[in-house]
Amino acid sequence: MRRTLALALTLTLAVSWLGSGIGVAHDGQHGIDDGHLLGTGAWGKIAFVGQVTVHDAEPDLIGDVTAFGNYAYLARWGGEDCAGPETGGQRSPDGGVYIIDISDPTRPVEVGFIATHQDTLVGEGLQVIHIDTAKFTGDVLLMNHEGCGKNYKGGVSLWDVTNPLKPKKLSEHFGDITIGGVRDRPDVNQTHSAFMWDAGARAYLVATDDEEASDVDIFDITDPKKPVLIGEFDLNQFAVSQPELALTDSFLHDMVVKEINGRWIMLLSYWDGGYVLLDVTNPASPRFLGDSDYAAVDPELLQQNGSSLTPEGNGHQAEFTALFPAGQRYVIGADEDFDPYRYQLKTAEPDAFLAKLGRQTSFAALDGLTGTPVFVGRACNGDPAVPTATVGQVAVVERGLCTFEEKAQNVIRAGYLAMIIMNREGSDACTGVFSPNLQAAIPTIFIGRDSGFDLFDVPFNLAACLDGTPQRAPIAIGTTGDAITDLDQTFDGWGYVHLFGVSIGATSATLTDLDTFAIPQAMDPAFATGFGDLSVHEVATDPYDPTLAYLSYYSGGLRAIQITENATTCAAQGDTSPCLVEVGGYLSPTGNDFWGVEFHTLPNGTRLILASDRDSGLWIFRDP
- For residue range 127-141, what is the model confidence (pLDDT) as tens digits? 999 999 999 999 999
The answer to whether the CB of 35 falls within 8 A of the CB of 604 is no
Contacts of 583 (CB under 8 A, 6+ apart): 44, 45, 548, 560, 561, 562
Q: Is the pLDDT of residue 20 over 50?
A: no
**Beta pairing, strands 263-269 & 254-260:** antiparallel
Other beta carbons less than 10 A from residue 336's beta carbon: 26
Q: How confident is the model at residue 184 (pLDDT cuts 50, 70, 90)?
A: low
**Beta pairing, strands 419-422 & 393-398:** parallel
User: According to the model, what pLDDT value does residue 93 have?
Assistant: 83
The answer to whether the CB of 309 falls within 8 A of the CB of 297 is yes
Question: Which has the minimum average pLDDT: 146-160, 386-400, 461-475, 480-494?
Answer: 461-475
Question: Which has the minimum average pLDDT: 148-152, 212-216, 253-257, 507-511?
Answer: 148-152
Assigned architecture for domain 341-491: 3-Layer(bba) Sandwich (3.50)
Which carries the bigger pLDDT value, residue 153 or residue 87?
153
Q: Is the pLDDT of residue 25 over 50?
A: no
User: According to the model, what pLDDT value does residue 17 have?
Assistant: 36
DSSP 481: -
Q: Is the pLDDT of residue 531 over 50?
A: yes
End-to-end CA distance of the chain: 49
Give the percent of the chain with pLDDT over 70.
93
Which of 2.20.25.90, 2.130.10.10, 2.60.120.460, 3.55.50.30 is the CATH number of 45-340+492-506+522-622? 2.130.10.10
In the chain, residues under CATH classification 2.130.10.10 are 45-340+492-506+522-622
Summarize the confidence of residues 151-176 as an average pLDDT.
97
In the chain, residues under CATH classification 3.50.30.30 are 341-491
User: According to the model, what pLDDT value does residue 329 have?
Assistant: 95
Q: How confident is the model at residue 2 (pLDDT cuts 50, 70, 90)?
A: very low
Give this prediction's pTM.
0.91
The answer to whether the CB of 372 falls within 8 A of the CB of 480 is yes
Three-state SS at 243: helix
